[in-house]
Chain A
Amino acid sequence: AQKITQTQPGMFVQEKEAVTLDCTYDTSDPSYGLFWYKQPSSGEMIFLIYQGSYDQQNATEGRYSLNFQKARKSANLVISASQLGDSAMYFCAMREGNGNYQLIWGAGTKLIIKP
């Protein structure tokens, strides 16, 4: 079974609109962390935002926020007021447990912002 599922292979969004990228996860470990990364066409993997399983509040970083619904096992990334520079591949990833350095990656969502 897929541990990280990103159901949107590609999305087109109008500039300045908000966009939600979906991510669902599957783990039986009570301690885990969820990450979102952005990968532009240049190839660099850029860390955006982190949510820990015990965090009480949804994570926010500037225009990025994470809609964390623990019971539903979802960790959707919300980008407010999208910009042309947001066009990129977006990956959701999970780390299970403590002291575990391996990330489990989703297949990614290709986001294209239209002017």
Chain B
Amino acid sequence: AQSVTQPDIHITVSEGASLELRCNYSYGATPYLFWYVQSPGQGLQLLLKYFSGDTLVQGIKGFEAEFKRSQSSFNLRKPSVHWSDAAEYFCAVGARSGGSYIPTFGRGTSLIVHP
């Protein structure tokens, strides 16, 4: 069965600093990988996705992620964090089931941004 591990429950960074959120997945086939962000009281919003091709993918809000098959990782990065980036971040892997792909989410990483 597929699974996603986000090792960091909380991460604190200063505004303007760089950010890297870790994600490791377990899936027997070619993975479809996603990063979503959730602001307090809101649903999730897709930041970026990886299906195939270039292993470095660009997303919205200045985020990027790199797929490393050898490490089963899909880490999310941002060169300079803004206070508005404070939110919960979820990594997910899509697994084939019943004619579609169903995402399995990690437990999330809460990002705290200090001014």
State yes or no: do A and B come from one complex.
no
